[in-house]
Amino acid sequence: MNAALRTVATIAAVAVAYYATAQVGLVLALVEGQVTPLWLPTGISVAALLMSGRKVWPGITLGAFVANIGLGAPVFSALVITAGNTAAPLLAWYLLTRFGFRPTLDRLKDALLLVFAGALGAMMVSALVGAAALRIGGVIPWRDVPAVVSVWWTGDAMGVLIFTPLLLTLPRRWAFTPRRLVEAGVLLTATTVLASLVTTAESRLLFLVFPMLIWAALRFQHAIAAPCAVIVSVAAVMSAAGGHFAAGDLLTTMIVLQAFNGSVALTGLILSAITSERNEARRAIERACEQLAETVARYQEEGVRKRLGRVVPPG
């Protein structure tokens, strides 16, 4: 397959993934069937741009337009929303690449860039454009605009914080021992069970998921911490959509939900990055020590040979 065909195939895959995950995200919509607190396609779009470059942006546009038209939005509103949905990931991609972001997320700098440039900063574009399009199209009244902007912005930002690390750091191959694989399986299973319980229980026990995230980040870094964050956040959003997560109006629910999801994402993301950075520093020190030991040993051998060469044999 030549480069052109690969590009077309990648664009088509991005479009299909965008549309499919949009349908999943809209099941959890909290505002007029349009805005969800966890927008998966944004995370997929940013990850696709970081992995394949800006050439895949037509896939984002196509997937977003089909998804918006499928909602019954007016054509003009759908076009404007699609423009915002495309511009925000492109801005995130530009900012991240401009400031030296590494998709491996193995530095604290990378985690902070993803949080502030890729998520909180760039995603404001899609929120403002989308809310304006819904208002102009008569889908929402003026009084709902602030709520829609806040939900749209945080939903897109959470999509980037939770799903982009998962896709960027998904292991291409597992280098863990069987014992470690069992540990990872137990950790993922325990996180799933615990998240389903604490997000629906009347007692506020949400803090119980954080030891699981810390365990995952310290032991496996992003490889397991990212899936754990996805599990917990999806469970929380599903609970909120069912009216079980927090008591109160939409604004109260969104504040509690997104504060919790943000804490979950940041705990896994930043702790994993710090641990990866620390491990790399330790490996660098070990390599330096090995090189130093080899150098010392080599000089010692040379010194011995020189001393032996100066020894005069008995006549």
Cα separation, 41 vs 48, in Å, equals: 10
Contact call for residues 66 and 51 (beta carbons, < 8 A): no
Residue 56 has what pLDDT? 93
Dihedrals phi, psi of 248, to nearest 5 degrees:
130, -170
Cα separation, 229 vs 219, in Å, equals: 15
Residue 238 has what pLDDT? 83
Residue 95 has what pLDDT? 95
List the one residue out of 57, 61, 63, 52 whose CA is nearest residue 21. 63
Residue 267 has what pLDDT? 92
Q: Name residue 141's amino acid.
A: P
Residue 34 has what pLDDT? 54
CA 264 to chain centroid, in Å, comes to 11
Cα separation, 117 vs 233, in Å, equals: 21
Cα separation, 219 vs 60, in Å, equals: 35
List the one residue out of 241, 240, 246 whose CA is nearest residue 202. 246
Residue 133 has what pLDDT? 85
Find where tokens 């520093």 sit: 281
Structure tokens at 43: 């995370």
pLDDT per residue of the chain (315 residues) written in tens, 0 to 9: 577 788 899 999 999 999 998 888 777 766 555 557 788 999 999 999 999 989 999 999 999 999 888 777 778 888 999 999 999 999 999 999 999 999 988 889 999 999 999 999 999 999 999 888 888 877 778 887 887 788 888 889 999 999 999 999 887 666 778 888 899 999 999 999 999 888 887 777 888 999 999 999 999 999 899 999 999 998 888 887 777 776 667 677 778 888 899 999 999 999 999 998 898 888 889 889 988 888 888 887 777 777 766 655 554
Max Cα–Cα distance, the chain, nearest Å: 111
Structure tokens at 251: 């604004």
**Domain 1-168, CATH number (from 1.10.1760, 1.10.3470, 3.30.70, 3.10.20):** 1.10.1760
∠ CA 274-280-283, nearest 5°, is 145
Q: Where are the domains of the chain?
A: 1-168, 172-309
Q: Name residue 45's amino acid.
A: S
Cα separation, 186 vs 232, in Å, equals: 15
Residue 65 has what pLDDT? 92
DSSP per-residue letters across the chain: --HHHHHHHHHHHHHHHHHHHHHHHHTT--BTTTB-SS-HHHHHHHHHHHHH-GGGHHHHHHHHHHHHHHTT--HHHHHHHHHHHHHHHHHHHHHHHHTT--TT--SHHHHHHIIIIIIIITHHHHHHHHHHHHHHTTSS-GGGHHHHHHHHHHHHHHHHHHHHHHHHS--SS----HHHHHHHHHHHHHHHHHHHHHTTSSS--GGGGHHHHHHHHHHHTHHHHHHHHHHHHHHHHHHHHTT-S-SS-HHHHHHHHHHHHHHHHHHHHHHHHHHHHHHHHHHHHHHHHHHHHHHHHHHHHHHHHHHHHHPPPP-
Q: What is the pTM of this model?
A: 0.85
